[in-house]
Amino acid sequence: MNGRLDRVRAVADAVLYEGYLLYPYRATSAKNQVRWQFGVLGPPGAAAGEEPDLASQCLVLPGTGAEVRLYLRFLHLQVRSVERRDGDSHTPVPELTVAGRTWLRWDEAVEHEVVLGPYPLAAAGADPVEVPGGTDVEPLIDAGGNPVGRLVRRREPVTAEVRVAVDAVGPVAPDGRPLLRLTVAVRNTTEAGPVDRDGATARSLLGAHLILVADGAEFVSVIDPPQWAADAARACEQRRCWPVLAGGGTDVVLASPIILYDQPEVAPESTGALFDSTEIDEILTLRVMTLTDEEKAAARATDPHAAAIIDRCDRLTPAELQRLHGILRDPRAGTGAFAPFPTAESFTPVAGSPVRGVGGRRPPTPVPIDPDPNTVPWWDPAADASVDPASDAVLVHGVEVRRGSLVRLRPTRRADAQDMFVAGQIARVQAVVSDVDGASHVAVVLADDPAADLHEWYGRYLYFAPDELEPMRGPS
């Protein structure tokens, strides 16, 4: 269990620090002036700040003596101020350089993981959470060993309450076990008063989320439940967090303020956190490596976590950087079946290809794999004689549309922001294609585009549904 819990913590840490500090990791960057975007539980009654609570409902199948432990994880704001020594006193300053290193005033954070329970699945429970405030002082010593200033880190006290409730929801599993609904709610109970946004943030639980671990029971997915539990899953209510199965089994749930799929994992190629899990590691790492020495020094002065990112990127070996470039994983792994990966030439153009205004091709949505080697590969239209995008046609308003037909574009599905620029224009059909669900899509180029010939040659088309086209009467 400890190994699987560590896997869950790796994902939970990515959630915990999402947006903590963004590239270029400097306090002066505009994007780092507003932080703590996810999972913020503010103090109740504050004049400014976030709502004080979150709640999650998940489904569980109990065994004898079943119980659940909770791990409440969050960040606690820590204000770091810089003071210069002036005789026997200290004066607050915006920044101070000591022994070649610069320190800035900045809001850091302390990570907390509070373990609660275990709670029997036969009863409800509640527990308080108390995180004391405090002040830490770190002297700054120059190269000669003389104290020239200090860092003062201050934290406000934070309190919260966690409540657990269990109730039966009706369906019985095929093995005879009753299906239970587990509700876990967290509420910030810190005394706030009419504080401003900064004061509210100092008394908030930041990036708050839960890890639920069952003992003698197993969780049922609420986003991909078995058919017999589908109605119960739909009836579950979530407030400011989303529960998913995690850790590779069914006894751990991660309730995250960011929507995830079941069994989320950090890519093994990743060399460490970059605090922006929506970004591509390779691109962000290369950006960090191109920072100037002055920019890197400013990042190091901002936050110890930023300094760790800069140092890690600077130490990357060519082999580690190459791994970030990407990897192709076999979707048939563990099935005993084998088939070659589709080549670029075999990709089927589909609606929604990357950047409609630029065109492009991508593989269609994966479907279940048939291990029968005699089956026509679903991804290779060249192997299926019944498919020919160059000659296939589709009926639009009673008119047969095929390669060479002229159509007027009437985009209605808001599939791309570029649609407003092409609405009403005339286009020439290049192909009629089908996706794996059997839906037809029409590939076109704009008739009056000076680069139309190049788009045709490269296969960089715009894709529309048949009902977004108006056939032009007369010869093409």
Amino acid type, 225: P
Class of domain 357-471: mainly beta
**Residues 330 and 340: beta-carbon distance below 8 Å:** no
Tokens of 312: 């890690």
Tokens of 268: 């093994």
Residues 285 and 275: their CA atoms lie apart, in Å, by 12
Checking if the pLDDT of 62 tops 80, the result is: yes
191-200, 223-232, 394-403, 405-414: range with lowest mean pLDDT: 191-200
Tokens of 112: 């907390």
Task: Read off the pLDDT of each residue in 219-234 and give the average, rounded to a whole number.
Answer: 96
**Residues 184 and 213: beta-carbon distance below 8 Å:** no
Checking if the pLDDT of 365 tops 50, the result is: no
Domain range list for the chain: 36-266, 357-471
Task: Read off the pLDDT of each residue in 463-472 and give the average, rounded to a whole number.
Answer: 92
Q: Tell me the torsion sign for CA atoms 374, 377, 382, 385.
A: positive
Task: Read off the pLDDT of each residue in 189-198 and give the average, rounded to a whole number.
Answer: 82
Q: Backbone dihedral region of 459: left (phi > 0), alpha (psi from -120 to 50 degrees) or beta?
A: left
Phi and psi at residue 131, to the nearest 5°: -120, 110
CA distances from 118 to 70, 154, 214, 366, 468 (A): 7, 33, 9, 41, 57
**Residues 68 and 119: beta-carbon distance below 8 Å:** yes
Reported confidence tier of residue 436, pLDDT bands at 50, 70, 90? confident
Tokens of 304: 């110890």
Checking if the pLDDT of 353 tops 50, the result is: no
Q: In the chain, what percentage of residues exceed pLDDT 70?
A: 86
Residues 326 and 314: their CA atoms lie apart, in Å, by 20
163-177, 215-229, 431-445: range with lowest mean pLDDT: 431-445
Checking if the pLDDT of 71 tops 60, the result is: yes
Residues 149 and 394: their CA atoms lie apart, in Å, by 76
CA distances from 71 to 209, 215, 386 (A): 8, 14, 56
Instruction: Please name the helix (run of DSSP H) or strand (run of DSSP E) that holds residue 305, with its range, or none.
Output: helix 304-314
Give residue 278's pLDDT: 72
Closest CA to 392 of 440, 349, 439, 459: 440
Checking if the pLDDT of 378 tops 70, the result is: no
Q: Tens digits of per-residue pLDDT, 88-98?
A: 999 999 999 99
CA distances from 283 to 4, 23, 293 (A): 29, 11, 19
Checking if the pLDDT of 342 tops 70, the result is: no
Give residue 392's pLDDT: 87
Q: Which residues pair with 57 in a beta bridge?
A: 183
Residues 199 and 161: their CA atoms lie apart, in Å, by 20
Q: Which position has the higher pLDDT, 331 or 22?
A: 22
For the ranges 137-146, 267-276, 341-350, the maximum mean pLDDT occurs at 137-146
Reported confidence tier of residue 381, pLDDT bands at 50, 70, 90? low
Q: Tens digits of per-residue pLDDT, 266-308?
A: 888 888 999 987 778 888 999 999 999 999 999 999 999 999 9
Cβ neighbours, 10 Å, residue 284:
18
Residues 255 and 261: their CA atoms lie apart, in Å, by 11
Amino acid type, 116: L
Q: Backbone dihedral region of 323: left (phi > 0), alpha (psi from -120 to 50 degrees) or beta?
A: alpha
- Alpha-carbon Rg for the chain, nearest whole angstrom, is 29
Give residue 74's pLDDT: 97
DSSP string, 162-214: EEEEEEEEEEE-TTSPEEEEEEEEEEE-----S--HHHHHHTSBEEEEEEEEE
Angle at 13 between CA 114 and CA 126, to 5 degrees: 25
Instruction: Please name the helix (run of DSSP H) or strand (run of DSSP E) that holds residue 318, with its range, or none.
Output: helix 318-323
Residues 8 and 264: their CA atoms lie apart, in Å, by 8
Q: Which residues pair with 406 in a beta bridge?
A: 428
Q: Which residues pair with 167 in a beta bridge?
A: 181
| Residue 187: half-sphere exposure toward Cβ, Cα within 13 Å | 10
Give residue 330's pLDDT: 62
Checking if the pLDDT of 467 tops 80, the result is: yes
Task: Read off the pLDDT of each residue in 162-191 and give the average, rounded to a whole number.
Answer: 94
Residues 234 and 58: their CA atoms lie apart, in Å, by 10
183-197, 225-239, 372-386: range with lowest mean pLDDT: 372-386
Checking if the pLDDT of 117 tops 80, the result is: yes
Residues 41 and 52: their CA atoms lie apart, in Å, by 4
7-16, 355-364, 382-391: range with lowest mean pLDDT: 355-364
Reported confidence tier of residue 438, pLDDT bands at 50, 70, 90? confident
Kindly tell me the burial class for residue 305, based on how many C-beta atoms sit within 10 Å of its own C-beta (0-12, 13-18, 19 or more): middle
In 193-330, where does DSSP find H-type helix?
197-202, 230-235, 281-289, 293-302, 304-314, 318-323
Task: Give the three-state DSSP class for 3.
Answer: helix
Residues 476 and 466: their CA atoms lie apart, in Å, by 17
